[in-house]
Amino acid sequence: MSLISTGSYAPKFSLGNDHLTTLVDTSSEWIEKRTGIKKRNISAGENTSDLAYEAGKQAIENSNVNLEDIDLVLVATITPDHFTPSTASMVQGKLGIKNAVAFDISAGCTGFVYALGIASSMIKNGIAKNALVIGSEVLSKVLDYTDRNTCVIFGDGAGALVLTKDLNDKIKDIYLQGEYDTAHNIQIQSVNVNNAMHTSQDASTLPKLSMNGGEVYKFALGALSELIEVILERNNLTNDDIKYIVPHQANFRIIETVAKKLGIDINKFYMNIENYGNTSSASIPIALAEMNNLGLLKKGDKIIIAGFGAGLTWGSILIEW
């Protein structure tokens, strides 16, 4: 399988750290020093399928694949427009793609890695030939802008890849993991059961993202190390064989700590968190699109993408570009 092209999109409005100090008790210095974030894009009404559509359209335009030949559309998201239809079905409709399998993947910030693993497996098994795989989030719609633990961290955006069947398979290894987080350290609570037979005791109505940052931080350090170490070991590779590691952009301190622990040059880790914040499922494909546009990805380069987040979920993929 080949990875043919990339695309990305972020809403126009950029919310800087200074602006956040007018909303919650925080400072630009704290946010930048503790997370690496300077600004993030925030939707002015566009929903997740709108962002996904823009990123997907760009990826298709950058490819040599015709719309009618796309037979799989996957959207990784934790902020879908609706329970149903899926965001992927909506994107399929907006793009005018006929006769494609379309569904969403919800796997926290690991969503895009899971989605790429699924698309790759479906292509290898002959179920699909050309896939559009998107990570898209409008996290601002589930953020509480009075909660400084979360509202300073997350942003909105989308990234996309087009993949096609190729005998020379570029997806070299897929490592996916998950373990139920009984403490719900990251969650977006949604609708409670209120029906003719039952009245919920919990009055909360609107979905809101909550995070126990400290606990997730500890998990993230272990997960990211494991994701890199397992891929290297299973493929008899060393750090030197890898051109770039593209981690989920959660916090630059997580990446810096793991780089030090594993003895990997920090410059091998692609980071753009300062401009986007944490965009969950979208962070890795946005980074890949940016790297591609900058000409950083050369044919034959080995890269590792590594995601970790709610679920808990974590996963990494070894790609030869």
- Sequence letter at residue 270: Y
Task: Give me the residue whose beta carbon is nearest to ligand UT7.
Answer: 213
Minimum distance from residue 31 beta carbon to ligand UT7 (Å): 6
184 is catalytic: no
Active-site residue, selected from the candidate residues 17, 41, 47, 109: 109
Question: What are the backbone dihedrals phi and psi of residue 160, each rounded to the nearest 5 degrees, phi first?
Answer: -145, 155
Query: How far apart are CB 283 and ligand UT7 at their closest, in Å?
Result: 8
Q: Which of 49, 92, 51 is nearest to 73 (CA)?
A: 92
Task: Mark whether 109 is an active-site residue.
Answer: yes
- Minimal distance, residue 308 CB to ligand UT7, in Å: 6
Q: How far apart are CA 174 and CA 231, in angstroms?
A: 8
Point out the catalytic residue in the list 41, 248, 251, 292: 248
**Residue 206 CB, nearest distance to ligand UT7 (Å)?**
21
**Residue with Cβ nearer ligand UT7 (132 or 258):** 258
In sequence order, which residues have a C-beta less than 8 Å from that of residue 2 and are 6 or more positions away?
163, 164, 166, 168, 170
- In terms of CB distance, is 11 or 108 closer to ligand UT7? 108
Q: What's the token pair of residue 116?
A: 């790429």
User: Which of residues 136 and 280 has its CB atom nearest to ligand UT7 in the complex?
Assistant: 280
267 among known catalytic residues: no
Do 285 and 135 meet the contact criterion of CB atoms below 8 Å apart?
Answer: yes
| β-bridge pairing 208-211 and 101-105 | unpaired
Tell me how far CA of residue 216 lies from CA of 106, 309, 313, in angstroms.
18, 8, 11
Angle, helices 28-35 vs 252-262, to 10°: value is 30
Q: Which is nearer to ligand UT7, 250 or 287 (CB)?
A: 250
For binding to ligand UT7 (CB under 6 A), which residues are involved? Answer: 26, 30, 34-35, 109, 148-149, 152-153, 186, 213-214, 216-217, 220, 250-251, 254, 278, 280, 309
Instruction: Please give the positions annotated as active site.
Output: 109, 248, 278
